[in-house]
Amino acid sequence: MPQANTKIRRATREDIEVLGEICYRAFCTVADEHNFPHEFPAPEAADGVVRSMVSTAGIYGIAAELNGRVAGSNFMDERSTIAGIGPISVDPEVQNSGAGRAMMQHMLDRVAVNRIPGVRLVQTAYHNRSLSLYSKIGFEIREPLSVMVGAPIGESISGYKVRAATDADLDACNRLCVSVHGHDRGGELRGALQGGTAAVVEHLGRITGYASAIGYAGHAVGESNEELKALISAAPEFLGCGPLIPSRNGELLRWCYSKGLRLMQQMTLMTVGLYNEPRSPFIPSILY
């Protein structure tokens, strides 16, 4: 159970440096304990993620304090119908303090108070302790994910034209996401449009797929695997690690292998509240 001296408060810009450093050490420590590669290649990468989370409107960030000392952070993207939690990190020096559970419960309480229909997260599969914690507090396991890494492919798929998305594409992309998931991710997509990372696929004269980005930072949907192949093939870079391919999509997974991508690790998509089994192929972001 969370300790009585665990204090939860809003994360601020003044916290960015210390929270980024904690996030980097926390993720690296867990990876080292399990002999897996680091998800953050350098401290600057973790700092950049925390900085973006704290600075982006629509993302709710919290810091945990133990006895007056900052012990970790957690974030929740509330820009779309469904919220996405992460990254959550706790200083390795105070593991088992209850700070992680306190931060997760705080987020779930916020979901309930604000009547958010559903919330999701992506969990590192080799970390049994986090899987156990999230299951205990109500998360359901929905999808195994394969993190694929490697160099950008730099190819095209015949009949599937990939181009940069524009504001005029937003409605078509949202309709496509609703057809796949039962809800849109318009808030995130608007952010991707502003950041210049969003792309669409056109097939037979209409938009049949889109990606907010390819890599940890982005999600994608398509009417078939061909749209996802086209988006991955055309990506100039992978943001963060490579795409999180649903492991049950054997065709897409084998195609990734054929293009020189390799498996880094497995992750787990977990949910509370509203969840619809996707009707067409998709790629989640590190949030969901």
Q: What is the pLDDT of residues 178-207, one digit of tens each?
A: 999 999 999 999 999 999 999 999 999 999
Q: Tell me what the mean pLDDT of segment 57-64 comes to.
A: 97
pLDDT at 97 over 50: yes
Q: What is the arithmetic mean of pLDDT over 118-138?
A: 96
- Residue 6 — pLDDT band, cuts 50, 70, 90? confident
Please enumerate in sequence order all residues whose Cβ is within 8 A of that of 153, keeping only pairs 6 or more positions apart, or say none: 232, 233, 235, 259, 260, 261
Length of the chain: 288
Mean pLDDT over the full length of the chain: 96
Express each pLDDT in 29-43 by its tens digit: 999 999 999 999 999
pLDDT confidence of residue 21: 97
Q: What pLDDT does residue 95 have?
A: 84
The structure tokens listed for 285 are: 């972001």
Distance between CA atoms of residues 288 and 285, nearest Å: 5
The predicted pLDDT at position 41 comes to: 92
One DSSP character per residue, the chain reads ---TTEEEEE--GGGHHHHHHHHHHHHHHHHHHTT---SSSSHHHHHHHHHHHHHSTTEEEEEEEETTEEEEEEEEE-SSSSEEE---EE-GGGTTSSHHHHHHHHHHHHHHHTT-SEEEEEEETT-HHHHHHHHHTTPEEEEEEEEEESS-----BTTBEEEE--GGGHHHHHHHHHHHHSS--HHHHHHHHHHT--EEEEETTEEEEEES-SBTT--EEESSHHHHHHHHHH-SS-BSS--EEETT-HHHHHHHHHTT-EEEEEEEEEEEE-----SS-EE--S--
- Name the pLDDT band for 5 (thresholds 50, 70, 90): confident
> Which percentage of the chain shows pLDDT scores above 70?
99
Per-residue pLDDT tens over the stretch 251-288: 999 999 999 999 999 999 999 999 999 999 999 999 99
Instruction: Name which of 2-11, 73-82, 240-249, 255-264 the model is least confident about.
Output: 2-11
pLDDT surpasses 90 at 3: no
Over 90: is that where the pLDDT of 103 sits? yes
What is the rounded distance in angstroms from the CA atom of residue 87 to the CA atom of residue 130?
Answer: 12
